[in-house]
Amino acid sequence: MATRTLSRITKAMLAPALALGATIGLASAPAQAAVWNSCDQWGNTTLNGYTLYNNIWGSGAGSQCIWANSGTNWGVWADHPNTGGIKSYPNSKKVINKSITSLGSLSSSYNVTVPSSGAYNTSYDIWDTDYDYEIMLWVNKTGAVGPLGTSQGNVTLGGHTWTVYKGNNGANDVFSFVRTSNSSSGTVNVLPILKWIKDTKGWFGNETIGDVQFGFEITSSSGGLEFVTNNLTVSSS
């Protein structure tokens, strides 16, 4: 798990094309790609205030291409082998850069179309600016995937009921909120979740929230599967 998180932070900031890029380039983006598409391992662009990342960071990955009509309507075609370990986290990121106490609101709406096979989760990945803490919100999951850490029980927050997991990957603390039933669309009120971690549990202080990412953490998608974000909004005040 340490490799998963460290890779997602550091590798997404790197531009060099690795040998895997030759394999990734064999895939082709779907016809929906009206504005931008990329099959590059670290392919990224910024559209209407959101940054999109192809972000193929795990070992043993296969082919993956990302396409986008906007920062809030995008998808990936991925063909990753049926082996263990996270292969990628294609995502759309919105930068917040506000402390928890200075936030008046932080919420997001999502609408996705995901496959019924493979192994993956659809999740928000929320970071403080120092990358000391990672808050994951899993809105759906399929296959042999699970969060880091130990269960802290269930809690109803932000409009959903979650099973909460607390762990550490050797680099940062990870708090995972796994929805107790799968959802393909909805709205998450994120701020009460952050305040619950801070005020009720005392697991961190008044952190400055840097990135709110939303995407698909893919372990396997053998034969090629498509993951689509039909609509996404992240708003704060």
pLDDT digits (tens, 9 = 90+) for 16-48: 333 343 334 444 444 444 699 999 999 999 999
pLDDT tens for each residue of 147-206: 999 999 999 999 999 999 999 999 999 999 999 999 999 999 999 999 999 999 999 999
Question: What is the per-residue pLDDT for 174?
Answer: 98
pLDDT tens for each residue of 75-119: 999 999 999 999 999 999 999 999 999 999 999 999 999 999 999
Q: How does DSSP classify residue 12?
A: G
For residue 7, what are its two tokens?
Answer: 């890779």
CA dist 65 and 49 (Å) reads 21
Residues near 237 by beta carbon (within 8 Å), at least 6 away in sequence: 103, 104, 105
Domains and CATH numbers, the chain: 2-236 (2.60.120.180)
| Confidence category of residue 225, pLDDT binned at 50, 70, 90 | very high
Residues near 98 by beta carbon (within 8 Å), at least 6 away in sequence: 208, 209, 236
Mean pLDDT of 137-143: 98
